[in-house]
Structure 1
């Protein structure tokens, strides 16, 4: 490979990107507005993604998956998010929920759950609580050892695709007297476990097609072989997971922004004012140029971070946080400008850009707020 090849997508990646775009345009885009309007799970997208093996492309071939690399996963998420952010959370959250198993799970846990994920059963992630969002180490969810089993009690908040996914990686304190941050363990909880229930769906600004609910654990008994990694290592595994999956949120943000830019560009070429297309006005051209420039910068940051994720580079923490933070800020700016370019029409639900603007907002918040991302980046800089 020449030194310059690293600055372009490989032929395989380009073919994948084109294939996902065709699928998204044909099988996902037609339902995006209704999914948002009705606040319903995008089952059409789910079925199309499962049928094409794009629902969890990160699962290794050893576990009946397709073994897509980190960049390929980002391309899938980006292209789906371009037409429907809610649907892009299917592959994104399947990676988020299963990464602790991939990173720290023993082969028995991997063999039990990853093939089922590859076959279409979803995987969600239970880290945040009502009083432990950014401050994850102060979680109150508890798992108490009882013989060979663990008994799980407590709750988790803001869980994406809760109630749809079959499996949940849940973080809980297993040593209340242990050192803060080193007293948490990870477990796989199954949807059918006795004592495991869901709260009501949150009524949200955006990503309305992706159900967000609380998880409630009322003395849920988990077999001892459901623990992921060694006791006390759960929080380290959770944070390492986020290093990898923040890159996918960057990809989602890039996709949302691209969808908004594409629509706005087409609109201003057709819309006429003062006897000419709006696109002929220099003020509009400057807006489009700035939107595209920032979007391409965000895209390159995400792709570089994806490559670092694939290699598990030591500076991934910085680049994952930077890619997520920058791309989500760009997505918010680009979608807001897209609404502006459509004028009054942009403010109505007759056009998709207002949905894209609402969807973009969450990318600045979940998997760590952008304020937290800046803390992560600063800490990495000060360690050097």
Structure 2
């Protein structure tokens, strides 16, 4: 197993050397920075949870997820894309067939090839029970897939898409499977990429499958396991997003501290003012709380408490990041509106991270359901004698 400190140091190096100096150029070019993600692979950042036998780092989820906090200090969308690649690589190396591992594992862990996840559909959003994409088994054991997916990250750029589909006309989720579709499969195409102004370098769009035929070797999770595996992937993604948000918050706070600590006013600096210290102190507290929460959630993944802990992290931390970005922009006054200080980009990224892989409102639904379940198990408190009687 790799040493987590060395991996975090590599992520920090990648952020400083590749992300921060280049992210504006990436957005101006509106193109995924494949050279940068190749370098991330060389540093071991594209196979975080995969076994060392396949070239991965073999890190536990609770440790590997901390990488996105480092990357998020440079750009949350870049951290998000690499987190989804790592989740797919984890699934492929852990649950894929031997033939799939032989063909894909080392290319994925090294970052030579990129993977992404396709679950959401245009008509169903956060409701996977309304899925329409369907795979049908053929006489020779291959599968034919037709349907459409929405909000696919690394659309047109990934080399393989881990796609969740139904395998029958029966309602519900008991027939769902996860099948890896190579980007060069005949019948696979993409619509126009979404216009995302603050992270234009991350291609996102709809993916269309028109009688795409794939080998049975590409079944990652067989019928009946697709939804459960997808929900686990989403839980990992939600905690990874919370990790990236902490990096974003740290960057926003550091910019605000550097500016207000040097802004001369009222016989001192802006940071000498009680009001400014209170504003930024609240951001600092939210950041510390967010770190504790996402790390606890990361360590709970794979346990019965994992889904609700992931929901708590996805509910609280991105909201805190939006608040932090806005507060730090306010701390800079008019300068906070200038591109050179980057606060507008951070604010838009924080809002994006509130939405992807389940909005914060969906997390509230998950939390609410867990509260209802807990309430059902609690004894009903006795009603005080005389309560409610007329006086």
Scaled by the length of structure 1, the TM-score of the pair is: 0.91
Equivalent of 1:288 in 280, 288, 293: 280
CA RMSD of aligned residues (A): 1.9
Give the match for residue 80 of structure 1.
Answer: 71
> Shift of the alpha carbon at 1:115?
1.8
Describe the shift of the 1:378–1:98 C-alpha distance in structure 2 as closer, same or farther (beyond 3 A): farther
Within a 5 Å distance, the mapping from 1:147-296 to structure 2 comes to 147=139, 148-176=141-169, 178-296=170-288
Does residue 328 in structure 1 map to residue 321 in structure 2? no
Give the match for residue 64 of structure 1.
Answer: 55
Give the match for residue 306 of structure 1.
Answer: 298
> Shift of the alpha carbon at 1:15?
4.6
* TM-superposition CA deviations, 1:226-276 (whole Å, max 9, x none): 222222321121112212221111111111111111111111112223343
Equivalent of 2:362 in 369, 372, 378: 372
> Shift of the alpha carbon at 1:329?
0.7
Asked if the contact 2:32–2:202 (Cα under 8 Å) also holds between the matched residues in 1, the reply is yes
Instruction: Work out which of the two has the higher radius of gyration on C-alpha atoms and give 1 or 2.
Output: 2
Asked if the contact 1:158–1:213 (Cα under 8 Å) also holds between the matched residues in 2, the reply is yes
Between the aligned partners of 2:328 and 2:205, the Cα distance in structure 1 is 30
Q: How many aligned positions are there? A: 371
Between the aligned partners of 2:87 and 2:4, the Cα distance in structure 1 is 22
> Shift of the alpha carbon at 1:97?
2.8
Equivalent of 2:305 in 307, 315, 337: 315
Q: Which runs of 4+ in 1 moved over 6 A?
A: none
Scaled by the length of structure 2, the TM-score of the pair is: 0.89
Between the aligned partners of 1:133 and 1:282, the Cα distance in structure 2 is 45
SS of structure 1 residue aligned to 2:341: coil
Does residue 47 in structure 1 map to residue 38 in structure 2? yes
Any gaps of 5 or more consecutive residues in structure 2?
A: 375-391
> Shift of the alpha carbon at 1:99?
4.4
* TM-superposition CA deviations, 1:199-237 (whole Å, max 9, x none): 221101433221112111111111122222222321121
SS of structure 1 residue aligned to 2:56: coil
Describe the shift of the 1:272–1:88 C-alpha distance in structure 2 as closer, same or farther (beyond 3 A): same
Asked if the contact 1:251–1:299 (Cα under 8 Å) also holds between the matched residues in 2, the reply is yes
Between the aligned partners of 1:14 and 1:267, the Cα distance in structure 2 is 30
Asked if the contact 1:250–1:323 (Cα under 8 Å) also holds between the matched residues in 2, the reply is yes
Give the match for residue 379 of structure 2.
Answer: none
Between the aligned partners of 2:362 and 2:118, the Cα distance in structure 1 is 18
> Shift of the alpha carbon at 1:104?
4.1
> Shift of the alpha carbon at 1:98?
3.5
Between the aligned partners of 1:223 and 1:13, the Cα distance in structure 2 is 36
Give the match for residue 347 of structure 1.
Answer: 337
Asked if the contact 1:31–1:44 (Cα under 8 Å) also holds between the matched residues in 2, the reply is no
Q: Which moved more, 1:233-242 or 1:279-288?
A: 233-242
Asked if the contact 1:244–1:316 (Cα under 8 Å) also holds between the matched residues in 2, the reply is no
SS of structure 1 residue aligned to 2:339: coil
> Shift of the alpha carbon at 1:287?
0.6
Describe the shift of the 1:325–1:99 C-alpha distance in structure 2 as closer, same or farther (beyond 3 A): farther
Describe the shift of the 1:370–1:31 C-alpha distance in structure 2 as closer, same or farther (beyond 3 A): same
Asked if the contact 1:185–1:231 (Cα under 8 Å) also holds between the matched residues in 2, the reply is yes
> Shift of the alpha carbon at 1:359?
0.6
